[in-house]
Amino acid sequence: MTDPWKNILLAAKPQNTDPTPGIMTRISQEKAARALKRRFFAYSALSLVSAAVFVVSLFAAGDAFARSGFSSFLSLLWTDFSAVASLWRSYLATLVEALPTASSIIVLASVFTLISFLRMAAKNFSAARPYIHHKTA
């Protein structure tokens, strides 16, 4: 077969007209988009719940700090600095004893979970942004 006939026959070869690969690709893209949207809204909801837990734990920690007398011991640092400077080891031991550790741990844990859920929501938002359609009025 000569070279010109080969080109003519190859050009006349029927092209693949099967729409299945394009449809399947589109279906898989839609599934991925739906999963991204679900993850984004799930992490957003968890962020809101975590923010509410943080606010509640912050108020509970404030109450625990007030009941423990920690703020009174801490204010002693400004009112009588010379006594604190001379007895600093006893003062630090008293501060550590008065510190409500459970409330502090709960506040720090709620801050950590809030930050991590916000981070994951932001990460999923940037991935899902092209798929989220805004309704205009």
Burial of 114 per CB tally in 10 Å (0-12, 13-18, 19+): buried
**What is the residue-averaged pLDDT of the chain?**
84
What is the per-residue pLDDT across 48-107, written as a single tens digit (0 to 9) for each? 999 999 999 999 999 998 899 888 888 888 898 898 889 999 999 999 999 999 999 999
In this prediction, residue 35 has a pLDDT band, given cuts at 50, 70 and 90, of confident
In this prediction, residue 132 has a pLDDT band, given cuts at 50, 70 and 90, of low
65 neighbors 106 (Cβ within 8 angstroms): no
What CA–CA distance (Å, rounded) separates 25 from 81?
72
What CA–CA distance (Å, rounded) separates 119 from 102?
26
pLDDT, position 40: 86
Q: Is the pTM of this model over 0.85?
A: no
